[in-house]
Amino acid sequence: MKPANRDNRPERASGNMRNTRPVAPENSALADELRRVLKGKPTVSGFNRSLKHEIVSFLGSVFKIVIVMSLCAAFAFGGFGAGMLLGYVSMTKPLSIADITQTDEVQTSFVYDSEGNVIARLTGNENVDRIYVPISEVRNTYIEEAVISIEDERFYDHSGIDIRRIGSAVLSALAHGGSATHGGSTITQQTVKLISGNDEHSTSRKIQEWFSAMSLEQELSKDEIMELYLNLAPMGNNYVGIQAAAQNYFGKNASELNLAECAFLAGLPKSPSYYNPLRESGRRNALRRQRIVLSKMHELGYITDEEYQNALNTELLFRSSETRSSNDINSYFAEYAISQVINDVAEARAISLDLATTIVYNRGYQIYTTLEPDVQSVLDEAFQMRDLFQQDPTLLVDLPEKPQAGMVVINVQTGAIAGMQGGFGPKSGNMVLNRATQAYRSTGSSIKPIIDYAPAIELGLIVPSMIYVDEETHLDPNNPDAAWPLNADRSYAGPLTIRRAVALSKNTIAVRVWYDVGGDTALWFLRQEGIDMTAEGAYPAQAIGSFTTGITPLQMCGAFNTLASGGTYTEPYAYTQVLDSSGNVVLTSAPEKHRVYSAETAFIMSDILEDVITNGTATGTVSIITNNAGEYIATAGKTGTTDANLDKWFCGYTPYYCGAVWYGYDNRLRQTLIPTIDKPNANRIWYYVMNKIHQELPGASFTRPDTVVDLEVCESGYYPNEYCRAAGTTVTDLFVIGSYLTPTQDNVCPIHTAPEEEQQPGVEG
């Protein structure tokens, strides 16, 4: 603790004093940019570089500095330079500092479900990675003096930028072959970067940073700026701010730090990874830097000779390495909703994610989410049931890990996330892997409706009754001699309608339809449904779910919800609005919405996907849902399996809810195949959840547009005649009135006709 008598320490200047001296050319942004460019270590070993190379390199660095200094002078005194500077300044985004320094009190934020029940309480203490502490609580420690000594010794004298420090950095670069021994940024400039999250290395960014720093000094007092820096500074290992660092490194509050500990923490933000206290080498580096901090504090008169020596001889007692976690474990949904709020706050205010997180956790926000408690309770119940995940636990005894799953349920009418689960069993802690939103896995055949068939229907390329031949094909452009793709059962069924090909999940036909659509067009549709894979480029394996990058259950649920909602994609969202502690609206959810498919396409695809359940790959494990009154609720879905049974999917929907399930193993230790008995578990999980949440809902069907009609058609695609019916080649299926693929009486089948009469004997031809 500081002694009562502080007369022997330098007097701090008033927080209201401002330095408005003009910036000298040698201290301009270009000069500082040069310092940035020239800093760092060589990329090759020193002993591999000749003396001639070293001399040329040094002279080159000096030459660059001279050139930049000349440009600085041009900027300062020339009209062109002044115009450039004004241009950079005009593009500077104002810093959004609302909610940051309005109170010294840390306020609890609350997260509510759709019925107004509290589902999470957020305070800094529940998020040990970042805990806001008012400067008044650490005023009796040496943390301010330590930070000022090592980062910005004239902090209380400058107006945001320190001309002398910038000039010193440039001269240091000249004296050390292009690598300055210290930077030119002030604490205010560093705070600007911590607020904005903008650390781009460019001249324009540096000039804008200068302008923002001077603006910040006009808006906030020095104490407020220091408070922001102390709470936003990176402290290594994802810890942000001195309170989190004090608790996690020393097991105490920041207000209890002694001189040696303050000097130690003050040195970390320069390079949190290099000075990482949790690594042996990092701790040694940090202790060496601590001595530099103490020396500088002594030099500046912040501590006496006795204090200096005592601090050097003080042994730091580090906290044991066991993990620290909050007693309150937030649900997967709550964590996801909070993350969305943080992202949106950061984007709306053009601030860093670190600052947005600090605000959300410490400023008494009220976050109203889309969570439907009845839906979530069923999800929670299902993900605690071992029978849904392990049909025979004895088969899993020798496996390195147990099976897992992730599921998302979306309200079809609103597009809002009604519930989610990110893993089997009790959630073990905060910020653990959420398989509903973070498990990027191959989708297998579950992708077919949204990348192959629905786009083809929309483009007028296919109808449900159209015939394709399931046969050996050679569709791999990189290996045209090999039979590809293969069906799951390694057999071929011959001529099949599109409807039947979907129900049986025939890979050969799916890839041929993908070729008909066109790879780039298929990716365009997929992007419109919320899954952007355009960076991968188009290749035919995508038709059956083989992507370089995996897809999450949340993304799949959002895409399938496009069909469930009648063809309109709504970006899944987890909150409706956010209020501050005074009840003012901070954020209102505005999810992106756009039409992808016509109502006709959505209905026809949904009707086809009902066959997957009634007489397709999901039969026996998924059924058409009935409510507690025995009324049917239309149910559509698609199974998915990846090669070697590493992943199992079921994505399906009703007129009320859409759900997507991934089931498998995390495969962190090795690839684990799903036992045969567990292969239908994704279907079982989906049906258990969806059947239960529909019990109190009335019977319902998918909305059928008036333009969709049932018509009899010959397998040839023409309007049938009596001979088609006699040959048994007709089928009744769905068509869109006016589509050129819809048969009319003007196009009667020319293939099936009356048999030719036998020619009579004796009659000349």
**368, β-bridge pairs:** 112, 577
Kindly report each contact of residues 71-76 with a partner whose C-beta sits within 8 Å and lies 24 or more positions away, as own/partner: 71/30, 72/25, 72/26, 72/27, 72/28, 72/30, 72/31, 73/25, 75/25, 75/28, 75/30, 76/23, 76/24, 76/25, 76/28
Of the candidates 600, 628, 636, the residue with the CA atom closest to the CA atom of residue 709: 600
Element (H, E) at 540: none
Alpha-carbon gap, residue 522 to 534, rounded angstroms: 10
- Give Cβ neighbours of residue 698 (< 8 Å, ≥ 6 apart): 627, 631
pLDDT of residue 617: 98
Of the candidates 570, 592, 564, 608, the residue with the CA atom closest to the CA atom of residue 448: 608
Alpha-carbon gap, residue 31 to 18, rounded angstroms: 23
Are residues 261 and 243 in contact, defined by beta-carbon separation less than 8 angstroms? no
- DSSP-assigned letters across all residues of 316-342: P-PPPSS----SSPPPHHHHHHHHHHH
Residue that is last in its domain, among 273, 293, 312: 312
Residue type, 379: L
Q: What is the β-pairing status of strands 593-595 and 568-570?
A: antiparallel
* Segment-wise mean pLDDT, segments of 10 residues, the chain, 765 residues: 46 37 42 41 41 58 51 50 47 56 68 96 66 90 96 89 69 53 76 77 62 84 93 89 93 96 96 93 95 96 96 92 62 97 91 86 92 98 97 92 97 98 93 95 98 98 97 95 95 97 98 98 98 97 96 98 98 97 92 97 98 98 98 98 93 98 94 94 98 98 98 94 94 96 93 70 47
pLDDT of residue 61: 53
Of the candidates 526, 513, 708, 517, the residue with the CA atom closest to the CA atom of residue 606: 708
Are residues 424 and 389 in contact, defined by beta-carbon separation less than 8 angstroms? yes
CATH number, domain of 165, equals 1.10.3810.10
Burial, 478: exposed, middle or buried (Cβ in 10 Å; 0-12, 13-18, 19+)?
A: exposed
Alpha-carbon gap, residue 603 to 447, rounded angstroms: 18
- DSSP-assigned letters across all residues of 613-674: HHHSTTBTTB--EE-TTS-EE--EEEEEE-GGG-EEEEEEE-SSEEEEEEEE---SSS--PP
Q: Is residue 395 part of a domain?
A: no
- DSSP-assigned letters across all residues of 57-116: HHHHHHHHHHHHHHHHHHHHHSHHHHHHHHHHHHTPPPP--TTTSS-SS-B-EEEE-TTS
Q: Is residue 57 part of a domain?
A: yes
Structure tokens at 583: 């009840």
Residue that is last in its domain, among 312, 338, 362: 312
> Which residue do the tokens 């296919």 mark?
462
pLDDT of residue 38: 39
> Which residue do the tokens 């009790």 mark?
426
Q: Is residue 257 part of a domain?
A: yes
Residue 450 DSSP label:
I
Q: Is residue 617 part of a domain?
A: no
Sign of the C-alpha dihedral computed for residues 501, 507, 512 and 517 taken in this order: positive
Q: Is residue 154 part of a domain?
A: yes
Element (H, E) at 478: none
* pTM to 2 decimal places: 0.79
3-class SS shares of the chain: helix, strand, coil, % to 5 = 40, 15, 45
- Vertex 120: Cα angle to 116 and 121 (nearest 5): 110
Per the structure, the count of domains in the chain is: 2
Alpha-carbon gap, residue 731 to 739, rounded angstroms: 18
- DSSP-assigned letters across all residues of 30-67: HHHHHHHHH-S--SS-GGGS-HHHHHHHHHHHHHHHHH
Q: Is residue 514 part of a domain?
A: no
| Domain span at 146 | 25-91+128-312
Q: Is 425 left (phi over 0), alpha (psi -120 to 50) or beta?
A: left
Alpha-carbon gap, residue 576 to 585, rounded angstroms: 11
Residue that is last in its domain, among 289, 312, 335: 312
Alpha-carbon gap, residue 607 to 599, rounded angstroms: 12
Are residues 72 and 30 in contact, defined by beta-carbon separation less than 8 angstroms? yes
Of the candidates 414, 465, 409, the residue with the CA atom closest to the CA atom of residue 604: 465
Q: Is residue 115 part of a domain?
A: no
**633, β-bridge pairs:** 625, 700
pLDDT of residue 320: 75
Cα-Cα-Cα-Cα torsion 61, 65, 71, 72, nearest 10 degrees, comes to 150
Instruction: With H, G, I as helix, E, B as strand and everything else as coil, classify residue 716.
Output: coil
Q: Is residue 746 part of a domain?
A: yes
